[in-house]
Amino acid sequence: MNYEMENYDIAIVGAGHAGVEAALAAARLGCKTALFTISLDTIANMPCNPSIGGTAKGHLVREIDALGGEMGRAADACFIQSRMLNAGKGPAVHSLRVQADRMKYHAYMKKICEDTPLLDIKQAEITEVRAENGRVTEVVTKLGAVYKVCAVVLATGTYLRGLIHIGETSYESGADNVIAPVRLTESLKALGLPMRRFKTGTPARVHKRSINFEILEKQEGDSNIQPFSFETNREGLENKVSCYIAYTNDETHKVILENLHRSPLYSGKIEGVGPRYCPSIEDKIVRFSEKPRHQLFIEPMGLDTDEYYLQGMSSSLPEDVQLKFLRTIKGLENVEIMRPAYAIEYDCVDPLAMRHTLEMKAVKGLFGAGQFNGTSGYEEAAAQGLIAGINAVKLIKGEEMITLDRASSYIGTLIDDLVTKGCSDPYRMMTSRSEYRLVLRQDNADERLTEIGHEIGLISDERYEEFLKKEEMIKDELYRVTKTTIRPSEELNELLVSRGTSPITTGVRLSDLIRRPQMFYADFAPFDKKREDLPYEIKEQVELKIKYDGYIAKQNEQIEQMRKLEKKALPEDLDYSQIRGLRLEAIEKLNKVKPHSVAQAGRISGVSPADISVLLVWLSGR
């Protein structure tokens, strides 16, 4: 029996990292929002590694923060260890990564949602999304409750028709044994969404007392901790735990190889496509048989628990085999498994079905975000959730939706990759995916996106003012540094020579000295008499802007070229077979992707420069 419930502007299906960002953005921007989750106890759950950030992912978190999302603040509030990865490999690839307290993170996000006006959290399974005349109208729960809505964001994670595999056993379930919704997929297919099946996995959780930490390599957090959020005060941030490193050995590999036949991956039981970035330990051993050992990280799940996560050991082998191979590892000889590793298959959508706004082409008002869109990772999910939530609001308010281009952010790159190239396995963000990576640094996410966040309405006037002040300070110091001349002195030349760079004989501009790869802004403090004591962020930006000036200018030139073509819009209803001069392969690809601009068309593999010329001529002839 169906029954009518109250109306909402926006319904969010799923309260993981995508759903929470979507819901918070929607409600904060003034829309009456319902956040549906199968269990209130798994809001913003981290069913895999309790870690936020990492390479390129750390960039995403900073960008989410600059646009007014929640993830950065939450991670700052709940982290127990923080490290800046890739220090020393160049500023473009510095990436912040924290180990978070899993339960605390969940509780923090749940409370933020509860405290947000206009946001209602509902424990319910959505079984149907209804549309009329190509526009979304209602969502229906398993109990039969019907909610009239104007927009829906699908953020079902790995739960949709979830199927867990552990050895010979398979059972229907979402992560952490939450019920797997089974009926929604049919409803989405009926709406015209192209659904597919992906696979992922997670390692075992083990008990702290069964680990011999004495003989493990210890990994400490940074002493100078940087927060994710541009709002978080750096004072008082501290590491509370250490992580540990262990290694597999011949014996481990032997146990695994002897039991491969019991893995559902190798017996052909799993049909979903698994991620390349996250192979199971059995995969690693088979594919990289020449490696004598594989590294694993042993990481705490939180402060109030003794569960430890074994990063690098994801597996779908039977529980008894898992125990056996783990116990071959030095330091884990007596290990006790609390939760076994498993592989999980789930339904998701082919992202080519979406526009850059994350709205489905087939149904107005229906958006997708997170693993539902074929990505992996909490950060990728949160980034999409934020954009989907904002655009659902824009749709309802009749405003133009936002799209971020590739040159603006990793978020823009992520979404453009998804809707232009699609993905054949769960998509993970990497710095090598961005051609503009010297410009898209984690340190300047605020410079790139705060203005946009403010315009959208998720960045307060107060924070925006702070941001403008910071920009002003950077500009002033940059100007001063380029106008300051440093005179040669014995002390200075000694320093220069000790770093392996040439001494100076006449006065040299300070900016030219900072530009030397061996030298840093801070080095010149004793010689730069008029220097004021500036905040860390200002000094960092001044240094980077000077050092990378040439590359940044070069990349900006490429960006300008790309943006010119980005402005040449292509109509979505265009039938490319009607355009004279396009090659067959190009017609086929263009008709599938329906690019929104000539620039996007140029990024589709199989579309040649000649095809782009044809499109340009065709466009200007209209």
Partner 1 sequence: MSTVAAISTPLSEGGIAVIRISGDKAFSVAEKVFRPVSSDKKISEMKGYTCAFGKIFMGDEEIDEGVLTVFRAPKSYTGEDVIEISCHGGVFVAKKVLSATIKAGCEIAAAGEFTKRAFLNGKLSLTEAESVIDIISAGGEQARKAAVSAKEGALYKRISYVKDKILKILGELSAWVDYPEEDIMELTPEELSSALCNIHEELLSLSKTYDNGRVLRNGIDTAIVGRANVGKSTLMNRFLGFDRSIVTDIEGTTRDIVEETAMVGDILLKLSDTAGIRETGDVVESIGVERSIKKLSEADLVLAVFDSSEKLSDEDEKIIEKLEGKKVIPIINKCEKGNEIDIEKIENVLGKSVSISAKTGEGIDNLEKKISEIFSFGTIDYSSGMIANERQKNCVDKALLSISEAVSLVESGETFDALTVVLDEALSAVLELSGERVTEAVVDEVFSHFCVGK
Which part of the chain contacts partner 1 (CB under 8 A), choosing from 30-38, 427-435, 473-481, 569-577?
Answer: 427-435
Which part of the chain contacts partner 1 (CB under 8 A), choosing from 39-47, 88-96, 110-118, 490-498?
Answer: 88-96
Pairing mode, strands 33-37 and 51-53: unpaired
Binding to partner 1 by CB under 8 A, coded x per residue (else -) over 261-280, reads --------------xxxxx-
Q: Name which of 283, 128, 310, 351 is nearest 204 in CA terms.
A: 310
Q: Which two tokens stand for residue 281?
A: 């330990």
Q: Does 100 bind partner 1 (CB under 8 A)?
A: no
**By C-beta, is 233 or 620 nearer to partner 1?**
620
Q: How far apart are CA 35 and CA 51, in angstroms?
A: 24
Q: Does 519 bind partner 1 (CB under 8 A)?
A: no
Q: Does 502 bind partner 1 (CB under 8 A)?
A: no
Q: Does 605 bind partner 1 (CB under 8 A)?
A: yes
Q: Beta partners for 297?
A: 245, 311
Q: Which residues fall within 8 angstroms of residue 290, CB to CB, at 6 or more apart?
A: none
Q: Which two tokens stand for residue 309?
A: 């996560």
Q: Does 421 bind partner 1 (CB under 8 A)?
A: yes
Q: Which two tokens stand for residue 592?
A: 């599938």
Q: Does 578 bind partner 1 (CB under 8 A)?
A: no
**By C-beta, is 261 or 580 nearer to partner 1?**
580
Q: Which residues fall within 8 angstroms of residue 254, CB to CB, at 6 or more apart?
A: none
CA atoms within 13 A on the CB side of 10: 37
Q: Is the CB of residue 329 less than 8 Å from the CB of residue 281?
A: no
Q: Does 33 bind partner 1 (CB under 8 A)?
A: no
Q: Find the binder of partner 1 among 252, 314, 442, 597 (CB under 8 A).
A: 314
Q: From the CB of 219, what's the least distance to partner 1, in Å? A: 9
Q: Name which of 466, 473, 461 is nearest 446 in CA terms.
A: 466
Q: Find the binder of partner 1 among 179, 430, 473, 534 (CB under 8 A).
A: 430
Q: Does 621 bind partner 1 (CB under 8 A)?
A: yes
Q: From the CB of 216, what's the least distance to partner 1, in Å? A: 15
Q: Beta partners for 532?
A: none
What amino acid is encoded at 262 in this protein? Answer: R
Q: How far apart are CA 299 and CA 341, in angstroms?
A: 15
Please give the residues from 543 up to 572 whose contact with partner 1 meets the rule CB under 8 A. Answer: 548, 551, 554-555
Q: Is the CB of residue 359 less than 8 Å from the CB of residue 395?
A: yes
**By C-beta, is 56 or 188 nearer to partner 1?**
56
Q: Does 582 bind partner 1 (CB under 8 A)?
A: yes
Q: Does 610 bind partner 1 (CB under 8 A)?
A: yes
Q: Which two tokens stand for residue 523?
A: 């080095």
Burial class of residue 49 (count of CB atoms within 10 Å of its CB; 0-12, 13-18, 19+)? buried
Q: Which two tokens stand for residue 375?
A: 């990505």
**By C-beta, is 236 or 609 nearer to partner 1?**
609
Q: Does 487 bind partner 1 (CB under 8 A)?
A: no
Q: Does 517 bind partner 1 (CB under 8 A)?
A: yes
Q: How far apart are CA 47 and CA 180, in angstroms?
A: 14
Token pair 């963000």 in the structure block, residue: 429
Token pair 């509902």 in the structure block, residue: 122
Q: Find the binder of partner 1 among 433, 480, 509, 563 (CB under 8 A).
A: 433
Q: Does 85 bind partner 1 (CB under 8 A)?
A: yes
**By C-beta, is 398 or 609 nearer to partner 1?**
609
Q: Which two tokens stand for residue 335?
A: 């290990």
Q: Find the binder of partner 1 among 432, 482, 485, 577 (CB under 8 A).
A: 432
**By C-beta, is 256 or 438 nearer to partner 1?**
438
Q: Is the CB of residue 436 less than 8 Å from the CB of residue 554?
A: no
Binding to partner 1 by CB under 8 A, coded x per residue (else -) over 151-190, reads ----------------------------------------
User: Dmax of the chain from CA atoms?
Assistant: 89
Q: From the CB of 608, what's the least distance to partner 1, in Å? A: 6
Which part of the chain contacts partner 1 (CB under 8 A), choosing from 322-330, 459-467, 475-483, 580-588?
Answer: 580-588
Q: From the CB of 91, what's the least distance to partner 1, in Å? A: 7
Which part of the chain contacts partner 1 (CB under 8 A), choosing from 6-14, 85-93, 258-266, 483-491?
Answer: 85-93
Q: Which residues fall within 8 angstroms of residue 143, CB to CB, at 6 or more apart?
A: 124
Torsion angle of the four alpha carbons 342, 20, 100, 212, in this order, in degrees rounded to the nearest 10: -20
**Count of residues of this chain found to bind partner 1 when the rule CB under 8 A is applied:** 62
Q: From the CB of 234, what's the least distance to partner 1, in Å? A: 23
Burial class of residue 195 (count of CB atoms within 10 Å of its CB; 0-12, 13-18, 19+)? middle
N-to-C CA span, the chain? 54
Q: From the CB of 198, what's the least distance to partner 1, in Å? A: 15
3-state secondary structure 315-327: CCCCHHHHHHHHC
Q: From the CB of 201, what's the least distance to partner 1, in Å? A: 9
Q: From the CB of 312, what's the least distance to partner 1, in Å? A: 6
Q: From the CB of 279, what's the least distance to partner 1, in Å? A: 5
Q: Find the binder of partner 1 among 32, 106, 110, 284 (CB under 8 A).
A: 284
Q: Does 592 bind partner 1 (CB under 8 A)?
A: no
Q: Does 288 bind partner 1 (CB under 8 A)?
A: yes
3-state secondary structure 384-414: HHHHHHHHHHHHHHCCCCCCCCCCCCHHHHH
Which part of the chain contacts partner 1 (CB under 8 A), choosing from 123-131, 172-180, 337-345, 434-442?
Answer: 434-442
Q: Find the binder of partner 1 among 48, 96, 404, 445 (CB under 8 A).
A: 48
User: In a 3-state reduction of DSSP, which class is residue 175?
Assistant: helix
Q: Find the binder of partner 1 among 55, 116, 141, 185 (CB under 8 A).
A: 55
CA atoms within 13 A on the CB side of 124: 22
Q: How far apart are CA 513 and CA 521, in angstroms?
A: 9
CA atoms within 13 A on the CB side of 393: 23
Q: Does 339 bind partner 1 (CB under 8 A)?
A: no
Q: From the CB of 284, what's the least distance to partner 1, in Å? A: 5
Please give the residues from 293 up to 312 whose contact with partner 1 meets the rule CB under 8 A. Answer: 294-295, 297, 311-312
Q: How far apart are CA 254 and CA 276, in angstroms?
A: 23
Residues that bind partner 1 (CB under 8 A): 48-49, 55-56, 85-86, 88-93, 95, 203, 275-279, 284, 287-288, 291, 294-295, 297, 311-312, 314, 421, 430-435, 437-438, 500, 517-518, 548, 551, 554-555, 580-583, 603, 605, 608-611, 613-614, 616-618, 620-621
